[in-house]
Amino acid sequence: MADLPDLGNVSTNSQSPTLAARDVLLRRLTFDLHGLPPTPTELRDFGNDVRPDYYERAVDRLLASPRFGERMARRWLDVARYAESLTLRGFVLPDAWRYRDYCIDVFNSDRPLDQFIAEQVAGDQMTSDDVHARQQQLVAVSFLLMGNTNLEDQDKQQLEMDVIDEQLDTLSRAFLAQTIGCARCHDHKFDPIPTRDYYALAGILKASTVLEHANVSKWISRPLPLPPGEEAVYADLENRINSIDERIKLLESRLEPSPKAAIAVSELPGIVVDDSQASTVGEWQKSDHVKPFIGEGYLHDQHREPGAKSVTFAPQQIPPGAYEVRLAYTAGANRATNVLVRVFSADGESTLRVNQRKPGDSGGQWTSLGRYRFEANGQAYVMVANDDADGHVIVDAVQFLPLTAADALADSSVTSESA
């Protein structure tokens, strides 16, 4: 094709084009139709072919190869913005490969262009008695869903319109060879698509439900039809899997009772100061998202304003004596590893750091801050602050446990673990 513009000049000057060498000719053909060079065997066979239609035979062989569809489909997949994941947290599209294979099959089977377009725009509205054809019609509509959209957007109406805008932009570029995205907001004097027509097109797409909304929305999935015999086998396997899943849930529920979501302060030994009884500096957020917790929930600093927030746990009355002091929190991956904790006792101030990404002692929500001595009318309180915190700081409760009770609790824990 690149040589065609020069043929006119050659003919005008009573000249004839020079025939390309056979190896050069086959390389041109193979690169053009397959995107890869010919093999040494193919070059040898093509060079030794003495039949008069050797060239046509080579073209037919290359067109009949599955590699032809792979080469041609790549161009269309670029137009269809094909990808197997979104930029959103590496969100994977697990069935995107089906659309890729569909496009390859379209080119290899020489499907009519109008059918190819119709299946991609409205394949779910088409019908066919052939199961494979019906599968391909449903897969083809993935063309509309390949867009890289922010599925985390919490304004779901805005998200739906953004999806439609992306679909319209792709449709216009692919089939009209023009962009119409500007018409979402305003008319252009010389553009053929005004805002009115844009929203008429958007209304057609808005009539379809394509997303299931949650914190992170997702595309609606639909099972592909199967031949009657395979459909029955699949249904039987699905029923067996569901039955096994129910059995697993039943066994797991018997294995270990579910922990209580909330633990009442009155159920705990020693002196417990809940976060609801503590004094705070700065803005702390109340939450009950991660369980279990003490009382009605816990506080977190929202990972904001480091050094400006603190919570002080001070018992109203504590008998003189030695105590183990323990801090309750809900562990998590986004917690701080260096929570600043100060314990004020008869022996002065003790400072330590707590890693709240790890569960407390024995895998629970309590972690020991050490053993301290408290005197009558002396200082007795614990302060938790978010100075230099590298994550969320969580405060739930502080427990002052008399040493006799603490030792007994430790002994029972060891016995339980040994058993």
Q: Tell me: the pLDDT tens digits for 78-131?
A: 999 999 988 777 788 889 999 999 999 999 999 999 999 999 999 999 999 999
2: confidence class by pLDDT, cuts 50, 70, 90: very low
Residue 375 has pLDDT above 90, yes or no: yes
DSSP 8-state secondary structure symbol assigned to residue 296: T
The identity of residue 290, as a single letter, is V
Whether 12 has a pLDDT exceeding 70, the answer reads no
Question: What's the mean pLDDT in 194-222?
Answer: 89
Reported as a single tens digit per residue, the pLDDT across 292-324 is 999 999 999 999 999 999 999 999 999 999 999
Query: What average pLDDT does this structure show over 179-204?
Result: 88
DSSP 8-state code for residue 175: I
Q: Between 13 and 240, where is the model more confident?
A: 240
Residue 17's pLDDT band (cuts 50, 70, 90): confident
- pLDDT for the residue numbered 387: 95
- pLDDT tens-digit series, residues 210-247: 888 888 888 888 889 999 889 999 999 999 999 999 99
Structure confidence at residue 9 (pLDDT): 63
DSSP 138-193: HHHGGGGG-----TT-S-HHHHHHHHHHHHHHHHIIIIISS--GGGGT---TT-SS
Query: Which residues lie across from 219 on neighbouring strands?
Result: 211
Structure tokens at 316: 């109203």
Biggest distance spanned by C-alpha atoms of the chain: 118
Q: What is the pTM of this model?
A: 0.58
Taking CA atoms, 329 is separated from 243, 285, 390, in Å, by 38, 14, 16
| pLDDT of amino acid 415 | 37
Residue 412 has pLDDT above 80, yes or no: no
327: nearest Cα among 349, 291, 301, 359: 359
With 80 as the cut, is the pLDDT of residue 417 above it?
no
CATH number (2.60.120.260, 3.40.605.10, 1.10.3720.10, 1.10.150.110) of 263-418 reads 2.60.120.260
Residues of the chain with pLDDT > 90, as a percent, come to 69
Distance (Å, whole) CA 201 – CA 231? 37
Are 198 and 178 spatial neighbours (Cβ–Cβ below 8 Å)? no
Beta pairing, strands 310-313 & 339-345: unpaired
pLDDT at 1 over 60: no
What number is the average pLDDT over the span 40-62?
Answer: 94
Highest mean pLDDT among 50-59, 253-262, 400-409: 50-59
CA distance 193 to 195: 7
Question: What's residue 406's pLDDT?
Answer: 59
In which band, very low, low, confident or very high, does the pLDDT at 38 lie, cut at 50, 70 and 90?
very high
Check pLDDT > 70 for residue 396.
yes
Which of helix, strand or coil describes residue 62?
helix
Domain range annotation of the chain: 18-64, 69-219, 227-258, 263-418
What is the band of 5 on the pLDDT scale with cuts at 50, 70, 90? low
- Residue 230: per-residue pLDDT: 92
* Cα end-to-end span (Å), the chain: 82
Which pLDDT score is estimated for 6?
58
